[in-house]
Structure 1
Amino acid sequence: MITAALMTVIGVLVAVETISALLGRPVRWVPYDRMLGWASSTPWSDPWVMLGASVVTALGLLLVLLALVPGRPRFIPARTGDPDLVIGVQRRGFTRSLAHAARQVQGVDHARVRLHGTTAQVTAGSHLRDTTGLAEAVRLAVADRIAALAPVDDYPVRVNLRGR
């Protein structure tokens, strides 16, 4: 996004400079006369030119590498009754469903689920003073919901219970 915004700003700047020069009233936001003079008198072997070319090349390679690295998937693949069919469940919907399952456990007031890789991290809160076995009940409820949703990957459940 940063690269796209930067390229948009540069494109607008070039367009304004070009159009204003063609209309006979250059805005001269960029002092290109000095840059043109420097560029026409500087040989390719100049250390500053080589440094600039190296920086631009390194940035280009970095952008190519960033484009090749896969991002976080938008969907979680889930099985269906048909062995040849896999559907995608949105990550947000998946975590909401798991949080809802955790909230259904007796004694849980609120719950939030976050996915860390293929681990479901449940943070649940309870008003109960004695929370013995509550964390395990939440873990089982969330694990049952995961089994019902049938994701392709295994999602072990970790529960962090906060009592009052």
Structure 2
Amino acid sequence: MKRRPRRSLPASLVALVTMAAGALAAVTAVQLLLGEPPWISYDAVARALHGLRWTDTAVLLIGIGTALVGLLLLLCAFVPGARTVLPLAPGDGSVDCGAAQRSYRNALHSAAARVDGVRDVKVKARGRSVRAVVRTDRTNTTGLAEAVERAVTQRIDQLGPERRPTVTSKLKAARSK
């Protein structure tokens, strides 16, 4: 179970451009059927396109632009995004289960924040590593970083991710007065 984000932005852009082109064609067709002057004259478009050659700069630039947009859309479709669900180790029943990345990070954050002497903590969980940046008001910080690492490691063991990350911590203490 490795859910990836949906590619909703590129899909929405393609849908909007396609819908606009279809609406424009439909409005022009209805205007022609009603005998009204169309927004886009078919004769003017046909004359402009008929006057172009394959070797013209405009044709080359439009072709390159279209190819780049197509390649960008293909890249969006095939390159996987960051995982949104972290796979957890299978339990007794071998059922696939996972935790949302945000929930996983929040659980590790709360474990680190419960350590005595921690004023503020920021946890980054990426791939195979978890990094906790701890702020404290203590002047004597002996063992605080190790206590935070132990608390985070214990919480990771409780959650049981499929791949166990390495835990590091960085301590930022107040200056001694």
The 5-angstrom pairing of residues 15-164 of structure 1 reads: 15-16=23-24, 18-19=26-27, 22-23=30-31, 28=39, 35-82=45-92, 84-164=94-174
The residue type paired with residue 152 of structure 1 is E
In structure 2, distance between residues paired with 1:32 and 1:6: 24
Larger mean CA deviation between 4-13 and 143-152 belongs to 4-13
Q: CA deviation at 1:62?
A: 2.6
- Contact persistence 1:79–1:85 (CA under 8 A): no
> Given the two structures, how large is their TM-score scaled by the length of structure 1?
0.82
Q: Which residue pairs with 2:16 in the alignment? A: 8
2:88, 2:98 within 8 Å by CA — same for their partners in 1? Answer: yes
Question: In structure 2, what is the Cα distance between the partners aligned to 1:115 and 1:31?
Answer: 57
Q: Deviations over 1:18-63 (max 9, x none)?
A: 32662455684x7887554321211334343133223312321232
> What code does the residue aligned with 1:81 have?
G
Secondary structure at the aligned position of 1:79 is classed as coil
Aligned residue for 1:86, secondary structure, equals: coil
TM-score, normalised to structure 2, is: 0.77
- After superposing on structure 2, the runs of 4+ consecutive aligned residues of structure 1 that deviate more than 6 Å are 30-33
Could you say if the C-alpha distance between residues 86 and 45 of structure 1 is closer, same or farther in structure 2, counting changes exceeding 3 Å? same
Question: Given that residues 17 and 26 in structure 1 are in contact (C-alpha distance below 8 angstroms), is that contact kept between their aligned partners in structure 2?
Answer: no
Question: Which SS does the other structure have where 2:97 is aligned?
Answer: strand
Task: Write the distance in 1 (CA, Å) between the matches of 2:37 and 2:107.
Answer: 59
Aligned residues: 163
CA spacing shift, 1:108–1:31, aligned 2, 3 Å: farther
Structure 1: unaligned runs, 5 residues or longer: none
Distance in 2, matches of 1:117 and 1:49, equals 45
> How much does 1:3 deviate?
6.0
- Structure 2: state its 5+ residue gaps: 1-8
* Bigger RCO of structures 1 and 2 (CA < 8 A, at least 6 apart): 2
Q: Which moved more, 1:143-152 or 1:42-51?
A: 42-51
Aligned residue identity for 1:146: I
Superposition deviation, residue 161 in structure 1 = 1.8
Sequence identity (%): 29
- Give a deviation string over 1:97-146, Cα, whole Å, max 9, x none: 00111011111122221223221121222121111110111011101111
Q: Distance in 1 between matches of 2:46 and 2:22?
A: 15
